[in-house]
Structure 1
């Protein structure tokens, strides 16, 4: 792996709100990873609800802000890491270790550490559907923290080959729009590390020269544990039972 100057990365994130690491992973590593995850998505359980718990399996979720199918997300959890192969573990563990190294100097702040302890680390792989895939401006954390909670985003497909459009736009610490492709020239295998409080979006994604489309992974996403998880599973079982009864009556 390339040598990285962690203090320099940390300082730029404090000053600008983001940092890009070019060629963190090779194209071969990324393509192998994407193929592995694509296979896992097809085999995974499907939920229409984001779940964060200590024992949830890795699962997929059709995610959109409206009724149009825009993305499919694959949620992965560190308690399931024994089921991941070597390629998947390498990319995820390398990335989370880097994120933790950058944040380490800030952990002595009591409030910062307290916030982190109440959140679950997990992973989100997102596939954007061509011609509909996009994300509106949003924050991944609702309030500004003394030190940034970091998002570690890696591009898993090639801009202008696998997809067109789909630029990631971040409003930096000065509220200036920064474009991941147009301004920072980032592409497959590159990592964007940014403060999850900052507003960001993904522009409309269009077909490229392959049928792969736009893929990315967010490693070390953080969210509160799902308090209504048990209630959700109870309701899900009731729905499944009702559907079985309906099918039986129709027969």
Structure 2
């Protein structure tokens, strides 16, 4: 039965998903297909992470107090303006990623990193659940020395307290470029609530995240989580 479920999930994946900064942030030239990448508002900061399918990661991080918006996309590779199909070949070097726009007066970068490590399993190289390949690897992109220091500290803490049974394998990469994904992938978790993949893979991850980060959730998601307990 488990093999049948993973086969069905595989079919679902084939149709979808499975500051001091000097780097570039690029919009696709194919107007209308790819999401627009907003510029940070005044006082707003940006963080970029990869942790498996961007459908659940986008939803989880968007539920945090102080997070204003999350854009799904691709980062960590070398190909320019990749499509979902390009990234799915596992040849671009890119991973499914999210770009988080947040208010540092409401949520710190450290708390955002903490949430990222609760939102996925950072101990499985090139895999998250049924999703396999380098395009599903765990990456935290840092924009300056302080962010790198926080990431190193958080990983050491997670390993020292044995938060997971295995060691964290998350890559720490200097942020270079983030490419926004196609519009169909933006907000996918909420727009496809009856999807088999969402119900069987994404939803359990989001519910687990809500329990772990309850105090940092926006009020409406605290209430939603209470109803699930």
TM-score normalised by the chain length of structure 1: 0.29
Structure with the greater alpha carbon radius of gyration: 1
Structure (1/2) with the larger helix percentage:
2
TM-score normalised by the chain length of structure 2: 0.31
